[in-house]
Every structure is written in structure tokens, then in C-alpha cells.
Amino acid sequence: MMQHNPRPWERANFFQYLLLALMIVVLAFPIFWLVRTALLPAPDLVKLPPVMKFKPSFEALGLVFKADQFMKHLFNSLVVAVSATAIGVTVGFSAAYGFSRFEYPGKAVLSVAILCLYVMPPIAMILPMYVIFQHIGLAGRLGSLILTHSIITVPLSTWMLRGFISRLPIELEEAARIDGCNRVEGIIRVALPLLRPGLVATMVLAFIYSWNDFIYAVILTSGSNTTLPVLIAGYITDKATYWGRIAAAGTLVIAPPFIFGFLVQRHLAEGLSAGAVKS
């Protein structure tokens, strides 16, 4: 019987799959450990070496839901993230379309200014934003957090969507105008359907940014208006660190972005990989 010798490309495929498997294990391990800690009985939380065989306990999850008003904070986070994403993508698309389709004085300067606003560290803006919100009566409310997050999601959306719109042939919109559409109708009927992957990718990144924000939320909101990252940080006190509740709340916090990304994964993959191919 003849022995089959693997060809070079077969060996390459094997190592590629092996590397991919190792990457999946490394990336999934923190999530596994988080869920494990959330289900670990309280007496086993600080045992060394770590306990791997145990009967799952839902005590920490119950405490998070009952004692800490998790659903209230979840609602706050959803309101802020969805609102900031909607504002960012809507305004960002308008700005990106203007950058991509029109020429006007000061375009380059304005483009750099928007980029500087996006890369500016949050700590540099938090003090003036807090003073402004104090004067207009929004301090401590969700509205202040939505507006502050929009300052980041608008430049993020602008820069992402600008690339997608620039790669879209303008002849398609011109053909729509020849057929009787005005510019707005051409954008809605022609451009938006073709830009769907880019819009989805932008929405996901903007949502994740707003969902995970802590520094703005902890300073600009208070009381019942705080979001989930602030709730989780409250489990670290001067008396104790409640690891079970931190893990339980963290497990619940990662669920909405994960579900959102899973539902739009096809468009998300197309959108994130579109920039890798030069047309």
C-alpha cells in the first residue's frame, strides 16, 4: 500500500487550523472564566488552587437581579447606547456623505478637526462637559450621557462611513437622478441599500463604545440614572470585593452586544472586511 505524503499546502492548512484553534481558545478563555466565576458557590470563590468541579450556584445572579436593580441599570444602558448609536450614525452618515461627494473651502481642516475630536482622551473633555451640563440642568441625567457619547460616535461614524461612501460609484446616484429621483431619493433607494454592511459595522462599533463606557457614566450620572459599568464598579468597596456579583453582572452585560453582533454577523463581516479590498 502506498503511503500518502502530505503536500506542502496540506501541511500549511493544518498549521493554519491549529493556530486558529489556539486563538479561539485564548479569546474564549476569559469569557469561560467569567461565566465559571458567576456560577461558582460563594465559599469557593477565593480558594487556591481554583475549584474546577462544583455544583453551579445561581445565588450571585439572584442577588444582582433582586438587590441591585439590574433591570433598571440595563434599561439605562440600552437607552444611552441605542440613542448615541442612532445619533452618531445619522449625523455621521450626513457628514460622511458631504465629505465624500462635495468639494468646499475648509474641507481638509474640518476633516482633521473631526478626527482630533475622536482621538481626544475622554478625561480632557469630561470637566467642561460636566460644567456645561450643570448650567443647563442636565447633570446627573441620562440626556447628558447620550449627548457626551454622541460626541464620540459622530466622528467614529463619519470616518468609517466616509470610506464606504467614497468606494461607492457616484454614477449609480447620477443614474437614479436621470430616472427622476432627486438627491435624497437617490441616497435612500440606491446608496443606503448598498452601504448596508458599512452601516451595520458602524452601528455595532458605536453601540459597543457607548455600552462599555465607564468614565463618562460615573461622573455625569448618579443615583437611579447610572449604567451597568457603574453598577459593576460599585461591587468593589472598602470593605470587600464581591467577585460573585461582579462576574454575574459581567456575564449579563456581555450578552446584549454578543446577541446584537450575532444577529448581524453577515453584514458585520462584510463591513469590517470591505476596507481590506481596494476597488
pLDDT in tens, 91-114: 999 999 988 888 888 888 888 888
- Domain presence at residue 176: no
Structural domain contains residue 190: no
Domain count, the chain: 1
Q: In this predicted structure, what is the pLDDT of residue 76?
A: 92
In a domain, 46, yes or no: no
pLDDT along the chain (279 residues), means of 10: 53 78 90 88 80 82 79 91 94 90 83 81 85 87 91 90 86 83 83 86 90 91 87 86 88 85 68 47
User: Is 48 within the bounds of a domain?
Assistant: no
What sign does the dihedral 25-28-33-35 (CA atoms) show? negative
- Say if 38 falls within a structural domain: no
Q: What pLDDT shows up at residue 148?
A: 92
DSSP 50: P
207: domain CATH number? 1.10.3720.10
- Domain span at residue 140 reads 64-169+196-273
Distance between CA atoms of residues 128 and 141, nearest Å: 16
Q: Which pLDDT value is given to residue 267?
A: 61
Q: Which three cell numbers stand for residue 114?
A: 473631526
Are residues 201 and 92 in contact, defined by beta-carbon separation less than 8 angstroms? Answer: no
262 within a domain of the structure (yes/no): yes
* pLDDT tens column, 222-253: 888 889 999 888 888 888 888 888 888 898 88
pLDDT at residue number 277:
40
**How far is CA 39 from each of CA 28, 32, 57, 85, 95, rounded to the nearest angstrom?**
17, 11, 5, 32, 46
Q: Is residue 13 part of a domain?
A: no
- The reported pLDDT for the residue numbered 276 is 40
| pLDDT score recorded for residue 258 | 82
Q: Looking at the domain assignment, is residue 19 inside a domain?
A: no
- CA 222/CA 237 separation, integer angstroms: 17
